[in-house]
Amino acid sequence: MGWIKRNLFFVIGGVVTLGLLGAGGYYIYQGWTRNAEAADKLNAIYGTLKSLQLQKPAPGNEKIDNLRIAKEQERQIRAWINAAEVFLPPVPPIPAGNLTSKRYATALGSTIYQLQQEARAANVSLPPQFYFSFDAENNKLTISPASLEPLAVQLGEVKAIAETVFSARVNALDGIQRVRVSDEDSAGPAGDYLEEHAVGGDLAVITPYVVTFRCFTPELARVIAAFATSSNTFLIKTVNVQPAAPASTAPGDALGQPVRLPMMPGFYPGLSAPVAPPASGRGGLQTVLKEQLLRVSMEVEFVKLLPKS
């Protein structure tokens, strides 16, 4: 104790020095920890940047700013989409507006009757009791609410397809097939439906239909031209052609399998080979080409832009 009293200032200075050394060590430890965390974050950022630089396409560097280029290209694409909307008008649903089972049933009946009258005016034959692929919904008073909107859209599109075929004045419309969109369709005739589904992405939806009709070669050309010049966006995907079966013969018999439209110059489906002149030697015109009735199955896709989000 006497030594401490004699060296009191030295002892106090030593204690203060030890405290300062401890505080300094703790501060250094904290700084080292922060530096280690910052180094880890920096290494992670550097690794991310390095992986981005190795990607194709890369975000760029000080000379080429790929991010800016990508944003500019996105702006150009959106501007093109806005301009293309004029050429991709939707077919109005039938009926439009607030949908109920009663409104849809009334619209369906009146639309089928209208199409039957248009077919009669264009001299286009229809199968008996033909409801344009809506046999399951015809005369049905109650339809599930979730099915009303897709059915109204399909009714408008089927009407547009039928009227396009009628405008070419084909001999007969044998059938229209569509994809199933409602619970009611599960109980409908199998011949009214396709075993396919509408496909699409973020911009548009493509819905397939198949229309089957009988005609001669000029009418087939008019049908193709009518779809090509239609105000609605119909795309012809495939055209299958075969000779139309006689009334007493079922389709797909010895008359031959469906054939694709050939692209050979000078050949037109539906025209038979040259016929030799009569052996009797009598006068008269020689038959060069003989027109033949065709049965055509045409797959048509309808393109619809999705509403802007």
Confidence class of residue 222 from pLDDT cuts 50, 70 and 90? very high
Residues 6-48: tens digit of each pLDDT: 666 666 777 777 777 777 777 777 777 788 888 888 888 877 7
Under 8 Å between Cβ of 243 and 255 = yes
Q: What is the pLDDT of the chain when averaged over all its residues?
A: 77
pTM over 0.85: no
Neighbours of 111 (CB within 10 A): 19
Q: Quickly list DSSP for the chain.
A: -HHHHHTHHHHHHHHHHHHHHHHHHHHHHHHHHHHHHHHHHHHHHHHHHHHHHHSSS--B-SS-BHHHHHHHHHHHHHHHHHHHGGGSPPPPPSS-SS--HHHHHHHHHHHHHHHHHHHHHTT-B--TT--TT-TTTTT-S---HHHHHHHHHHHHHHHHHHHHHHHTT-SEEEEEEEE--STGGGGS-GGGEES---EE-SSEEEEEEEEEEEE-HHHHHHHHHHHHT-SS-EEEEEEEEEEPPPTTS-TTSTT---EEPP--TT--TTB-PPPPPPTT---SPPP---B--EEEEEEEEEEEEPPP-
| Whole-number Å distance between alpha carbons of 53 and 60 | 7
pLDDT (0 to 100) of residue 54: 65
Under 8 Å between Cβ of 138 and 108 = yes
Confidence class of residue 4 from pLDDT cuts 50, 70 and 90? low
pLDDT (0 to 100) of residue 10: 64
Which amino acid appears at position 185 of this protein? Answer: D
pLDDT (0 to 100) of residue 110: 92
Under 8 Å between Cβ of 115 and 132 = yes
pLDDT (0 to 100) of residue 249: 39
Higher per-residue pLDDT: 67 or 125 = 125
pLDDT over threshold 70, residue 162 = yes
* Per-residue CA distances from 75 to 81, 153, 199, 309 (Å): 10, 31, 25, 16
Residues 173-209: tens digit of each pLDDT: 999 999 988 888 887 788 888 888 888 766 778 889 9
The average pLDDT across 228-245 equals 85
| Whole-number Å distance between alpha carbons of 144 and 208 | 23
Residues 85-121: tens digit of each pLDDT: 666 777 888 888 888 888 888 899 999 999 999 999 9
Residues 39-95: tens digit of each pLDDT: 888 888 877 767 766 666 665 666 667 777 778 888 887 777 777 666 677 788 888
| Whole-number Å distance between alpha carbons of 98 and 208 | 26
pLDDT (0 to 100) of residue 257: 42
Where are the domains positioned within the chain? Answer: 2-59, 90-247+292-305
CATH architecture of 90-247+292-305: 2-Layer Sandwich (3.30)
pLDDT (0 to 100) of residue 211: 93
The average pLDDT across 270-299 equals 63
pLDDT (0 to 100) of residue 177: 92
| Whole-number Å distance between alpha carbons of 272 and 292 | 7
| Whole-number Å distance between alpha carbons of 218 and 238 | 18
- Structure tokens given for 306: 């999705």
Confidence class of residue 212 from pLDDT cuts 50, 70 and 90? very high
Instruction: Provide, rounded to the nearest whole percent, the portion of the chain with pLDDT above 70.
Output: 72
- Structure tokens given for 309: 């989000």
